[in-house]
Amino acid sequence: MSAAGKGDLTEPRQLKTIDLSEAATIERAKLGDAEAFQALYDKHKRRVYSLCLRMTANTAEAEDLTQEAFLQLYRKIGTFRGESAFSTWLHRMSVNVVLMHLRKKSLPVVSLEETTQGTEEDSPRRDFGAEDMALAGSIDRLQLQRAVDSLPPGYRMIFVLHDVEGYEHNEIAKIAGCSIGNSKSQLHKARMKLRDLLKINRAEKAGESRAG
Amino acid sequence: MNCVELQNSLAEVEDGSTLEQRAHLMDCPACSTLVKELDLIIEAAGRLQEADEPSPRLWNSIAAELRREGLIRPQRPTVSTGSSFSARWGAARWQVPAAAMLLLALGLYVRHQSVPDQFAQQPSVTAPVAKPSELNDDDLMQEVAYNTPAMRGQYEDSLRSVNESIREAQSLVDESPNDEDARRSLMDAYQQKSMLFEMAMDRSLP
């Protein structure tokens, strides 16, 4: 057995390449330089992993997908010509990896019918009132994270791509294979659902503190 | 525009900035609150972009796969020999970088021996200096225990693992001296051990 896979120190190695520009690091990675590969990983791992985690809501899957995204990156890095930003290239690749995974699992990437039909649950709420618990102030990141994890996969994907990753609706439409209107509608519903989830969460917490 | 129409229209114009939307929002505190709350969600979403960090072990898995696929070449031997290192720990601590260099030399020797036209002349690989398992492992562990005691267990595991790999690869090379894969495995194992020494030194530098 090769020793290559046996190094199991849990902290990535400190690099001596931190002063190099990303372009130089990419060129070194194209030549197979291990430190350059790791420098690129260190720089982009959080964003790629967070994307995978938000889209799947599962840490084990997210790590597998992060690994697959970086492996694809390194396999194809020789073809990177710098027409787009490296981060854009990598994140597009990561999104594709996640979408392929979701399709393999037969999860609905986007529900095409939901947008025009609307369900009882998704219909606009008419019961606005003073009894609603307002989301005043800022929203706690962990609470939002949990609420996003609770969204149906289709809503979650559109919300993550648009509101977290900053993709435009026309880009999402191309990536997910839906119409721009569909993307907008799904996003709006995702936000409304998140609002409900966050309010429920606050109401539960308020109830707990009253009881306690 | 009523409340339902306002909600539907937010899918298209999310900030409520059209004339019709603004007219409704002026008179409807509930819808006005809704728009503000959706804005809060949008604002908070940006903070999720780099919110999470993968397990530190993930890079090891990726690197192992890259090596297996031959996408990365072995790391270059870069042994730190700064004066601060010497001044801080004295001459005795040079045993650790010396061991790393020795391992590198051993690895390079193995690789040199793998040139095909030398197979006939050199049927087996014999370590030119000492057995790798005897190369100052104790000194390495002392170094780790002194500088980063919290990492000691991990270094011990890694060292045990890499020594085992060296032994396995060496026995394969001894059995089949012309086996290129076995030689490469042995070279990788030496490289891995050398990296452990380098890491120990990196961590001990200020």
Cβ–Cβ contact A104 with B under 8 A:
no
- Do B33 and A199 contact (CB within 8 A), yes or no? no
pLDDT band at A68 (very low <50, low <70, confident <90, very high): very high
Which chain A residues are Cβ-neighbours of B157 within 8 angstroms?
A: 8
Write the CB contacts of A196 (distance below 8 Å, at least 6 apart in sequence): none
Q: Is residue A161 very low, low, confident or very high in pLDDT (cuts 50, 70, 90)?
A: very high
Tokens at B205, concatenated: 């530098």
For B96-127, write each residue's pLDDT tens digit. 556 666 666 666 666 566 544 444 444 444 44
Q: In this predicted structure, what is the pLDDT of residue A47?
A: 92
Higher pLDDT, B81 or B66: B66
pLDDT for position A104: 81
Q: What value does the mean pLDDT take over residues B88-100?
A: 52
Do residues A77 and A29 make contact, with C-beta atoms less than 8 angstroms apart? yes
The residue behind tokens 């700064």 is: B82
Q: Which of B8, B11, B44 lies closest to A138 in CB terms?
A: B44
* Range with the poorest average pLDDT among A9-13, A75-79, A134-138, B70-74: A9-13
List of domains in chain A: 20-104 (1.10.1740.10), 139-211 (1.10.10.10)
Decide if A3 and B193 are in contact by the 8 Å CB cutoff: yes
If you average pLDDT over residues B157-171, what whole number do you get?
82
Closest Cβ–Cβ partner in B28, B42, B74 for A163: B42
CB pairs under 8 A between A and B: 206
Residues in chain A: 212
Considering the entire predicted model, what is its pTM? 0.58
- Assign 3-class secondary structure to A122-170: CCCCCCCCCCCCCCCCCCCHHHHHHHHHHCCHHHHHHHHHHHHCCCCHH
- Nearest-CA residue of chain B relative to A43? B50
Q: What is residue A165's DSSP assignment?
A: T
CB contact under 8 A, B64 and A5: yes
User: Which of A114, A132, A135, A84 has the alpha carbon at shortest distance from A190?
Assistant: A114
Residue B67 has pLDDT above 70, yes or no: yes
Question: What pLDDT band is residue B149 in, cutting at 50, 70 and 90?
Answer: low
- The pLDDT value given to residue B148: 64
Share of chain A above pLDDT 70, in %: 75
Report residue B130's pLDDT band, with 50, 70 and 90 as the boundaries: very low
Average the pLDDT over B4-31 and give the result.
88
Nearest CA-CA distance, residue B47 and chain A, Å: 7
Res B84 pLDDT > 70: no
* pLDDT number for residue B100: 62
Which of B62, B190, B202 is the best mutation test for A, with the most CBs of A within 10 A? B62
Q: How far is B71 from chain A (nearest CA, A)?
A: 6
**Which has the minimum average pLDDT: A51-60, A68-77, A81-90, A113-122?**
A113-122
Higher-pLDDT residue of A121 and B202 is B202
Weakest mean pLDDT among A45-54, A111-120, A184-193? A111-120
- Cβ contacts of B73 on chain A, cutoff 8 Å: 32-34
User: What pLDDT is attached to residue A2?
Assistant: 37
What pLDDT does residue B58 have? Answer: 93
A47 at interface of B, judged by CB pairs closer than 8 A: yes
Of B103, B127, B125, B106, nearest in space to B114 by CA:
B125
Categorize the per-residue pLDDT at A207 as very low, low, confident or very high, splitting at 50, 70 and 90.
confident
**B196 or B14: which carries more pLDDT confidence?**
B14
- Chain B contact present for A12, CB below 8 A: yes
Interface test with B, best of A33, A123, A135, A157 (most B CBs within 10 A): A135
A141 touching B, CB under 8 A?
A: yes
Cβ atoms within 10 A of the Cβ of A64, count?
17
**Average pLDDT for chain A:** 78
**Token representation of residue A29:** 């990675």
Q: Where on the phi/psi map is residue A7: left (φ > 0), alpha (ψ -120 to 50), or beta? A: beta
Which pLDDT score is estimated for A195? Answer: 93
Could you give the angle at the alpha carbon of B78 between the alpha carbons of B96 and B56, nearest 5°? 85
Per-residue model confidence (pLDDT) at position A132: 55
Are B160 and B148 spatial neighbours (Cβ–Cβ below 8 Å)?
A: no
Helix axes A86-104, A169-176, angle to 10 degrees: 40
Alpha-carbon span B62 to A67, nearest angstrom? 6
Q: Which of B40, B48, B189 sits opposite A50 (nearest CB)?
A: B48
pLDDT in tens, A83-135: 778 988 998 899 999 988 988 876 655 554 444 444 444 444 544 443 456 66
ipTM: 0.75
